[in-house]
Each structure stands twice: as C-alpha cells, then as structure tokens.
Amino acid sequence: MSRQQSFQGPAAPPGLDSPEAPLEAEQAAKTVWYSRWSPGGSEGVFIWPAVLVLLGFSLFPLIVSLWLSFSRLKFVKGGVQINNVGLANYRKLFFGSEQAHFLGVWTMPSVLGLMFFGVLVLVTVVLLVKYVRSQAGTVAGLILRLAFALFALAVMWMVVSTVNAEGRPGTVTVTLIYVYIGIFLQYVIGLGLALLTAQALPGRRFFRVVFLLPMMITPVGVAYMFRMLADTSKGPFAPVWQAVGLGETSWVNNAWGARSAVIIGDVWQWTAFMFIVLLAAVEAQPREPVEAAQVDGASRWKVFRYLTFPGILPVSTALILIRMIEAYKIMDLPNVLTNGGPGTATESMTLHSFIAWRALDIGGSAAVAYSLLILVTIVSVAFVNLVRSRTTEAI
Amino acid sequence: MRSYFRRTSISRPSPVEMTGSYILLVLWAFVVLFPLYWLFITSFKQPIDVNTGPYYIPFVDFQPSLHAWRYIFVDVWHDTARPYANTVIVGLSSSVLALAIGAAAAYALVRFHYRPRVGAIVLFIACLLLAVFLVNRGVPWTVSVAVSLVIFFLLLQAIGKRLRRSLGNNDIAFWMISQRILPPVAVVIPIYILFQQLKMLDTRAALIITYMAINLPIVVWLLRDYFLSIPIELEECAAIDGASRLRTFWSIVVPLSVPGLVATFLFVLVFAWNEYLLALFLSSANAQTMPLTVAAQNATRGPQWWYMSVLIWIMILPVIVLAIILERFIARGLLVGAVKG
C-alpha cells in the first residue's frame, strides 16, 4: 500500500513534531534512538489495523449519516428511493412539525427560572471580563469564548423556558437534565463514598467491592429492577407509599416522576464508576502533607479543601468528561423503564433518533443523531479547553 | 478520661467518626444490594406472590419455588442458550480483538513516530465524499468506491509529495480517542446499511466487528498511558539482542502490562456484554444478545418479572464474579488513563 509511506519515514528530531509538553519531548528524545535503530517496516503493522477500523466504522458512517440527514427515503416498488431534500429534516426539527418534540414547547419562564438564568448571564459576563483583563487573553480566544457563551446561554434559555408548568421540555432538554443532574449526583455521592472508604476502617475491602457492582449490570436490567422497585402498590416500598397516601399513584405516569426514576437508575449504576476511580485517586495522594496538616491541627474540612481536593481535581475533570461523553448516549434506561413516556417526557435524543428510525423516517433520525453529535462535540471541546486544561496544568 | 471524639492515632478516625462512617457506608451498601436482593428473591416467586403485594423474606413471607428457573433452563432452554452463547462469543471475541488491535496502536503511538501528511488526509476525505456523492447520483456503490480509490492513489502519487506538512503522534491519538464522542446512534444507520449490503445482518460477526470498533478508542486511551509508564530500557536491550519490533512487543511489553491489559479487557468486556442500542439495530433472531432477550420479556401479557429476574441474574453473574476477582486491577487501570487522558 503506497499510503503507508506517509506514516513512516525517519524519526524527526524531538521538538519538531511534538512541541506539546516537555514530558512528551523527553519521551520523544528517548524514543529517537530506538526508532532509528530498528530497520523500518513493522511500524505500519502496529497502527494500520486500528486506523482502518476507525476509518471504516466511524469516519465513513459519519459521512454517510450526514448525507442521509439531508435526504428522505421513499419506499417504491422493489427498493428504496433516496431523495435529496437539503436542510428539510433539520428545518422540521428546529422550526417545523417536530419542534415541540425536539426543542419542547416554549413559554415564558417562571420567576425562579428567570432568576437562575440571570445568575448564569452574570457569571458568564464576569468570566468573560476576567478573561479580557487577564494577560493571557487573545482575540481568537475571546471570540471562541464569546461564541460558546452565546451558545450555552441560548441552550439554557431553552431549558428555563421549557421546564415550567405550562411548557414541555423537548428531547434536548431532557437529555441535558439526565446528563447534568445525573453527573452532579454521581460525582457528589461517589466522592463522599471514596473519602469514607479511604479511611483506615476495618472491612473497607467489602464496601469497595460492593460499591463497584452496579457498574457491571446491564442498563436494561437496571431499568427493569427500578421498575419493580418504583411500583407503588406491589414493590418493596409499597407500605411506605401507602403510609404517605401515594399507594395508588404511579411514578411513570407523572412526567417528573418518570424522569427522576430514570435519573435514580442512572445514578445508582454510574456512581460506582466515579467511586472506584476517585477512591484510587484519593489513595494515590501522598500521605505526608495530610499528616503534617493533621499534626498542625487542621480540621478535616481544611485538609480536604486545601490538600485532597486540589490533588484529585485533574482526575475529577477527566471523570466528568468521560461520564459526560457517555451520558449523552443514554437510551436503554428510558426506553425500557418508561418507553419514553408519558408522551415524550423521558425521551433522550438517542431514543428520539431510534424512534424516528423505527418509524422509517431515516432522514429525520439521522438529523437528530447529527444534532446530538454537534451538541456533544461543542460541549466536550469547550469543557476540555475551558476546564480541563486549567486543572491539568496545575500538576 | 477518654474522649470518643478524639482520634487514638493520626491515621485512625475517632470512634464517633467511625460510627458515622459506617452508618453512611452501610446505607449505600443497602442501596446497592437491595435491588439485587429484590431481583434475586423475585426469581423464586410465583406470579401470585409478585402480584399480591410485597413479600420480603423467603420461607417466612412466601414459599420460594423454582418454577421460573425451571422454565428458563428447561422449558425454553433453546431460547436462553442461544442468546447467552451469542453474548459470550460476541463479548469475548470483540474484546480480545479490540484489545489486540488497540494495544498495538497504543504501543505504536508511544514508541514510534508517525507523520501522516495533511495532504494525504484531505485527499482521502475528499475521495470518500466523492464516493458518497457518486452513490447519491445513482452509480452502484462498488463502482464508485473503486473509482474513488483509483483517483485517490493517482492523486496521492502526483501531488502527495508536494504537501509535506505533517501531523504528529498526538494528533493521531487525539483523533482515535475522540471517536468515543460519537454517539452510536449517529453511525449505526450506515453500519446497518453496510451489513445489509454484505448480507451480514443478524450475524455474530457483524456484532463482533462493530463492538470492536466502538471499543477501540477506550483501549487506545487507557493503554497508551499504561505503556508510557513502562521503562524503555528493557525494549532497547531486546532490540540490541536482535529482537524484532513485534517480538519485543509480544515478549517484553505485553507481560509487563498485564494489570493494565486486564483492567482494560474487563472494562471493554462489560461494555460489549451489556450493549443494547447497536444490538437492537444489527441483530434480530439469530445473533440476539442477552440484553435484547431481557428486554423482550416485557411481553404481551405484561412484564414477566419472575422470568426476567432469572435472566438478569444469569446474565450479570459472570461479570459480577469477574469484577469481584479483578477489583484491584480495575481501579489502577482506570486511574492511569484518567489522570493523563
């Protein structure tokens, strides 16, 4: 294969093609000798399988998907006919008949929502001003930040104007609710458990293993389990529900009840992941500064606030990023737990796309999937550049 | 007088703190274990026991029966065994493949220098777009792919040499890892069409290949940092002794990175084992995996909780046992990836 040549060639001097981190440069300097020594030819064997697989199963489908999102499939005799319809699928989602489903029904936000949005605007303005005033600010950086701030505020405006009594959140808002409320709870509970388990307590190994288990269970199983548990008349907590007079109501018939059931299932499952990695991070922290602080009489809170938390911050941001990327794909839990209902109240974007596909609206399905892809990409890139880069520089 | 609030030593919590910690830990252990317990006893309940209200303790509240287990293991054994075998085969082979390909790529990204040229990449994407465009215009897909490939290689020879700007290893790594951001739903329809064209829909091979591709980025991500922590001197020694690249990788690097490989394998296996969305698209009867079988228990007569509980238990048991055995590896393996990633 002649393209293989492009991946080979003599090793470059360090610093020429890896100006990133000093660590990488050092590694490169070490590698130079080794890679120059060996007779070339086998490097391609190592990387080409992975490159080909990823080209075949993500880049190629991605392009085809983009094209599908601009087309409409028509079933004709003996096959399908694919018509190019331009942006019609997207127009339908954002302004047309699917708008209520996708973006939700918009109304005037409640007072609480307006206050929340006002606080967000203030925080954004303060952060932007801080960036302009700082020495490191550049014009390109400012423009990108401004663009992201506008995007984020527009999304938040959608959230506050659909999440109220009269409005109805669309699948985008529901996905955002799942992702962020879920991650917040998972992180807080996971960190708390990690700190508790990191103490020198007898029997901590038992807790570590038990807390890990939910991660291993299939989300479909989790969904059915929580359907059983959420049953207010025959589930294990039925006496409790009857005692408070809610014995005959059902979680899944109420929009917010159904959404919280999905979030509880998600938190139950993924707290395990946060816990296990945060625990390893807490235990990897050096003991001496903590002990020195304790000898000096620092309180537990101070030890956590000034030593442990800064130490685990890089891991925390990586974890949040991983969970964010994975959580946007949520689909099995709402599909099995509530089937997207009542109405479309618990539909995530992936489920929306799947339901459109099942209804043979392939173009619409691809358009939803692409909107999700764009949303996730913007959010992850912004997170990496604005939050993660700051915390990893610290160490 | 001894105070219950004072620590006896600096590393041990005081008795009061210890009690508080235990209360919280036991509380969460209950939250984790109770649903599993409920699932377990439900599998021994008669339908009437499930439907007439909550019963908590076997032999006290209700008489456990093996009817659901007998039904799943004897009456509909074929309907259970096939998806189970599918799950095992698909899970194991896709994880092994992803680990093999991903480990090789991760190692290569740490130790060798690649310099893919920007020109070649742009050209490749342009030719891909051309192929899609040709299919769109009604040209058969075999012809259009062949035409684009020919054009690609011709142009590469002609102008490739001129465009010297190249990318580094970090760019390749970033590209590979960023593939994980892709929501599967955004790529599944073309993959469905692809397997349909190849007459491979509803086969295990289709699922194995797809899961391997989906899990590859995680493998590269976790193992790249693991390989970075292995001292290069050992490999240099092997090289001086005349070992080839592949030989060095196989006999020096792989044995040294067993903990990282185990953690990554388990992580990827769990993903493949529990995967639902892609299986929903790509398999129907033959290649059906367990998550689909479990989901299908929500039959016309309403959810069959007792059968479902049995199925979920036999499905999660192997991974739970693995997790308990390999717990230490998991934490360490994931941590390395998370710190640097």
pLDDT of residue B2: 54
The CATH number assigned to the domain holding B325 equals 1.10.3720.10
Is B68 inside a domain boundary? no
Whether residue A259 is found in the same domain as residue A180: yes
Which span out of A17-31, A78-92, A171-185, A270-284 was modeled with the highest average pLDDT?
A: A171-185
Is B274 inside a domain boundary? yes
Question: Residue A168: helix, strand or coil by DSSP?
Answer: strand
Q: Is A260 near chain B, with CB under 8 Å?
A: no
Provide the percentage of residues in chain A whose pLDDT is more than 70: 85
Whether residue A52 is found in the same domain as residue A143: no
pLDDT of residue A86: 78
Average pLDDT over residues A339-359: 86
- If you search the block for the tokens 């922590």, which residue do you land on? B229
Give the domain extent around B318: 76-115+169-340
Q: What is the mean pLDDT of chain A?
A: 81
Whether residue A215 is found in the same domain as residue A326: yes
Whether residue A180 is found in the same domain as residue A285: yes
Whether residue B292 is found in the same domain as residue B323: yes
Whether residue B101 is found in the same domain as residue B223: yes
pLDDT of residue A167: 79
Q: Is A301 near chain B, with CB under 8 Å?
A: no
pLDDT of residue B162: 62
Question: Between B240 and B164, where is the model more confident?
Answer: B240
Predicted confidence band of residue A384 (pLDDT cuts 50, 70, 90): confident
Q: Is the pLDDT of residue B165 over 80?
A: no
> Residue B128 is nearest to which of A12, A60, A370, comparing CB atoms?
A60
CB contact under 8 A, B185 and A353: yes
User: How is residue B249 written in tokens?
Assistant: 């990788």
pLDDT of residue A19: 40
Angle, alpha carbons A105-A106-A109 (nearest 5°): 135
Q: Is the pLDDT of residue A183 over 90?
A: yes
Whether residue A100 is found in the same domain as residue A133: no
Question: Between B20 and A41, where is the model more confident?
Answer: B20
Whether residue A122 is found in the same domain as residue A248: no
> Residue A193 is nearest to which of B28, B51, B110, comparing CB atoms?
B28
pLDDT of residue A21: 45
Average pLDDT over residues B101-108: 91
Predicted confidence band of residue A247 (pLDDT cuts 50, 70, 90): low
Whether residue A238 is found in the same domain as residue A297: yes
Is B7 inside a domain boundary? no
Predicted confidence band of residue A391 (pLDDT cuts 50, 70, 90): low
Predicted confidence band of residue B8 (pLDDT cuts 50, 70, 90): low
Show which of B142, B166, B190 is a domain's final residue: B166
Is B57 inside a domain boundary? no
Whether residue A190 is found in the same domain as residue A318: yes
> Residue A6 is nearest to which of B112, B117, B281, comparing CB atoms?
B117
Q: Is the pLDDT of residue A160 over 60?
A: yes
Q: Is A61 near chain B, with CB under 8 Å?
A: yes
> Residue B327 is nearest to which of A20, A208, A237, comparing CB atoms?
A208
The CATH number assigned to the domain holding A359 equals 1.10.3720.10
CB contact under 8 A, B36 and A366: no
Whether residue A253 is found in the same domain as residue A383: yes
- Its pTM stands at 0.85
Whether residue B122 is found in the same domain as residue B206: no
Whether residue B173 is found in the same domain as residue B133: no
Summarised one tens digit per residue, pLDDT across range A8-25 is: 334 333 333 334 444 555
Whether residue B241 is found in the same domain as residue B282: yes
Give the domain extent around A53: 2-84
**Buried (b) or exposed (e) across A136-165, using 16+ Cβ within 10 A?**
eeeeeeeeebeebbeeeeeebbbbbbbbbe
Alpha helices by DSSP H, listed for chain A, are 22-37, 43-54, 60-69, 88-94, 99-102, 111-133, 139-162, 171-198, 204-212, 219-230, 238-243, 255-284, 287-295, 300-303, 309-327, 332-337, 349-358, 362-383, 389-393
> Residue A236 is nearest to which of B38, B129, B235, comparing CB atoms?
B38
Q: Give the burial class of B59: count Cβ atoms within 10 A of its Cβ; 0-12 exposed, 13-18 middle, 19 or more buried.
A: exposed
> Residue B168 is nearest to which of A17, A30, A43, comparing CB atoms?
A17
Whether residue A189 is found in the same domain as residue A265: yes
How many distinct structural domains can be found in chain B? 2
**Best mutation target, B23, B25, B43, to test chain A (most A CBs within 10 A):** B25
Which chain A residue has the Cα nearest residue B178? Answer: A377
Q: Is the pLDDT of residue A35 over 90?
A: no
Does the predicted interface ipTM exceed a cut of 0.90?
Answer: no
Residue B53 in contact with residue B47, Cβ under 8 Å?
no
pLDDT of residue B300: 65
CA distance B75 to chain A (A): 22
Whether residue A70 is found in the same domain as residue A135: no
Predicted confidence band of residue A122 (pLDDT cuts 50, 70, 90): very high
Q: Is A79 near chain B, with CB under 8 Å?
A: no
Is B26 inside a domain boundary? no
Whether residue B146 is found in the same domain as residue B181: no
pLDDT of residue B33: 93
**Buried (b) or exposed (e) across B240-276, using 16+ Cβ within 10 A?**
eeebebeebbeebbeebbebbbbbbbbbbbbbbbbbb
CA distance B295 to chain A (A): 7
Question: Between A146 and B135, where is the model more confident?
Answer: A146
Angle, alpha carbons B70-B275-A357 (nearest 5°): 110
Partners of residue A53 in chain B, C-beta under 8 Å: 101, 212-213, 216
Show which of A134, A166, A198 is a domain's final residue: A166
Distance in angstroms (rounded) separating the CA atoms of residues A379 and A377: 5
pLDDT of residue B206: 92
Distance in angstroms (rounded) separating the CA atoms of residues A4 and B116: 9
Whether residue B162 is found in the same domain as residue B196: no
How many distinct structural domains can be found in chain A? 3
Half-sphere exposure of residue A247: CA atoms within 13 angstroms, side-chain side: 11
User: How is residue A369 written in tokens?
Assistant: 């999937």
Element housing B312 (H / E) = helix B305-325
Residue B339 in contact with residue B228, Cβ under 8 Å?
no
Is B197 inside a domain boundary? yes
Is B33 inside a domain boundary? no
Whether residue B162 is found in the same domain as residue B240: no
CA distances from A373 to A379, B28, B186 (A): 10, 35, 7
Residue B261 in contact with residue B99, Cβ under 8 Å?
yes
User: How is residue B79 written in tokens?
Assistant: 């309907």
Whether residue B175 is found in the same domain as residue B252: yes
**Buried (b) or exposed (e) across A79-92, using 16+ Cβ within 10 A?**
eeebeeeeebbbeb
| Residues shown for chain A | 395
Q: Give the burial class of B162: count Cβ atoms within 10 A of its Cβ; 0-12 exposed, 13-18 middle, 19 or more buried.
A: exposed
Predicted confidence band of residue B68 (pLDDT cuts 50, 70, 90): confident
Q: Is the pLDDT of residue B22 over 80?
A: yes
Is B46 inside a domain boundary? no
Whether residue B162 is found in the same domain as residue B277: no
Q: Is the pLDDT of residue A75 over 80?
A: no
Element housing A169 (H / E) = strand A168-169
Whether residue B134 is found in the same domain as residue B249: no
CB contact under 8 A, B334 and A207: no
Show which of B128, B151, B166 is a domain's final residue: B166
Question: Between B270 and B113, where is the model more confident?
Answer: B270
**Nearest CA to A217 among B19, B80, B164, B323?**
B323
Q: Which of A16-20, B57-61, B83-87, B238-242 has the lowest mean pLDDT?
A: A16-20
Whether residue A99 is found in the same domain as residue A115: no
Whether residue B142 is found in the same domain as residue B191: no
CA distance B338 to chain A (A): 6
**Nearest CA to B122 among B72, B162, B83?**
B162
Q: Is the pLDDT of residue A198 over 60?
A: yes
Distance in angstroms (rounded) separating the CA atoms of residues A9 and A158: 52
Q: Is A80 near chain B, with CB under 8 Å?
A: no
Q: What is the mean pLDDT of chain B?
A: 83
